[in-house]
A = this chain, B = another copy of it.
Amino acid sequence: MLAARDTGVAGDVSAETLIIKAAVAVMSEHGYHGTSVRDIADRADLSPASLYNHFASKQQILVAIMERGIDELLRRTREALDAVPEDDPAGRLRAIVEVHVLYHLEDQRGTQLGTSELRALEEPVREAHIAKRLRHQRIFESVVEDGVARGVFGTPYPADAGRAIVTMCTAVATWYRADGPLTREEICTRYQELALAAAGA
């Protein structure tokens, strides 16, 4: 049972990961409530009963998806921030926008779920999860605020700008098509510029 450890590394083929992939695929299309356990099982080439050897409930599958998603996003965002000097607000904003956009392009369906199915999370997980999302948004707000404090950004509403930036970067997951006219990197660059503009750079 070598592959049983979910390392997040490509090539991971544990049953849990396969199920989560299947669930992301079908849930991102029809939503949590619009997706049946059978839908997930079919997609994962399993019987519905077998799902329950890996997850206690449909809800727990959603929890796994949502938590992994926000945890990874937070991790990457913090990592990106750590790599840019504090006295370079524009560079810091560019860095976290890059992470955000690339992550939402890389895992379009998973991140869409993360954005849209908050309401399907049951308490008490929901509350904790929302707190994480808020923490993530606060990072953007504080980067903009910091830039304003340093005189690099000129927006009079740093918090609103931060929220607007997160919002528009998140939305790329809803419209990006791999066969569209722009590469991921191009989209990323454009959103960095849009973000800087919104911040009043």
Q: What chain B residues lie within 8 Å of A200 (beta carbons)? A: 197
Q: How many copies does the complex hold?
A: 4
Residues of B within 8 A of A157 (CB): 190, 193-194
Q: Chain B residues near A156 (CB, 8 Å)?
A: 193
Task: Show 23 residue pairs from A and B whose CB-CB distance is below 8 angstroms, ordered by the A residue.
Answer: A29-B119, A30-B119, A31-B32, A31-B34, A31-B119, A32-B33, A32-B34, A33-B34, A34-B120, A155-B193, A155-B194, A157-B193, A157-B194, A160-B187, A160-B190, A161-B194, A163-B168, A164-B168, A164-B191, A167-B168, A168-B168, A197-B200, A198-B198
Contacts of A30 in B (CB 8 A): 33, 119
Residues of B within 8 A of A119 (CB): 29-31, 34
State which size class the interface on A falls in.
20 to 34
> Which residues of chain B are within 8 angstroms of A190 by Cβ–Cβ distance?
157, 160
Min CB gap A101→B, angstroms: 11
Residue of B nearest to A157 (CB): B190
In the bound assembly, the distance between CA atoms of A200 and B198 in angstroms comes to 9
Q: Which chain B residue lies CB-closest to A163?
A: B175
A187 neighbours in B (Cβ, 8 Å): 160
